[in-house]
Structure 1
Amino acid sequence: MEIRRAVQGEFQVLSDLAFRSKAYWNYGSDYMDAARNDLTVSPVEIEKNPSLYLNMTGKLLVSTNLWNIRHKIRNCFGYSSTRV
């Protein structure tokens, strides 16, 4: 298992994870299209707001975006190909 700070070049992987995580809950396509911008992670956001990257077996499992010196959780997305 690897836990580390995300780097700017991983913005697309993190954005895809956020979108898949939201889609897991079977929101309609209209809602998901409307939510896409809110779920998109930019390189600037990664730099300004430390994001943690949890990787197991070569796949990103969790991205957590922490946003202030108290490290309050802003967004936490996780995805598994298997429904629980």
Structure 2
Amino acid sequence: MQIRAARPHEAGELSELALRSKGHWGYDRDFLARCSAELTLAPGDIERRRTSVAEHGGRILGFVTVQGDPPHGELGMLFVDPPAIGTGVGRRLFQHAVAVAEALGFTRLEIGSEPHAEPFYRAMGATRTGTIPSGTFPGRNLPLMSIATTPLHPRPTARRHTDS
């Protein structure tokens, strides 16, 4: 399996994968239809959201996005195709996202988690820091997770110059 940058023409395929992955948790068609806009990537989103895919034998197994600007960012989307769930693809994508964040100078990533995915994020070292409202379903709250990262290129801090 390799992880590589997603390509703009893959936006539709990634959006379909996100819906299949969300459907893995037993949500009905109405629920998934209402989530569709939130889970849709446009070609212009691919680079802007720093989208990476896990691929094996020419087949995309999952994808992840790292969004925002340092020092704090967001792991915006992490979806694995249902046949690949439990095979380590999610773990590799998560580790890749953290490495990307560190290379860009992020000190923390926040994750608005699917409730069923919270145990996965905990296993990856994230902690629950609160809840956030669903962007699709009024009254539904989602776990807010966070993971500290170690930036490879920390931002310079202002130094005080004092007279001796």
The reply to whether TM is greater than 0.5 is yes
Q: Which has the higher helix share?
A: 1
Q: What CA RMSD, in Å, does the superposition of the two structures yield over aligned residues? A: 1.8
Q: Which residue in 2 is equivalent to 1:24? A: 24
Quote the sequence identity (%). Answer: 27
Q: Which residue in 2 is equivalent to 1:46? A: 46
- Could you tell me the TM-score, scaled by structure 2's length? 0.47
Give 1 or 2 for the bigger CA radius of gyration: 2
Q: How many residues align?
A: 84
Q: Which residue in 1 is equivalent to 2:79? A: 77
Give the aligned residue type for 2:66: L
Structure 1 alignment gaps of length 5 or more: none
Higher relative contact order, structure no. (Cα contacts within 8 Å, ≥ 6 residues apart): 1
- Could you tell me the TM-score, scaled by structure 1's length? 0.86
Displacement over 6 Å in runs of 4+: none
What pairs with 1:6-17 in structure 2 (closer than 5 Å)?
6-17=6-17
Structure 2 alignment gaps of length 5 or more: 87-164
Give the aligned residue type for 1:60: I
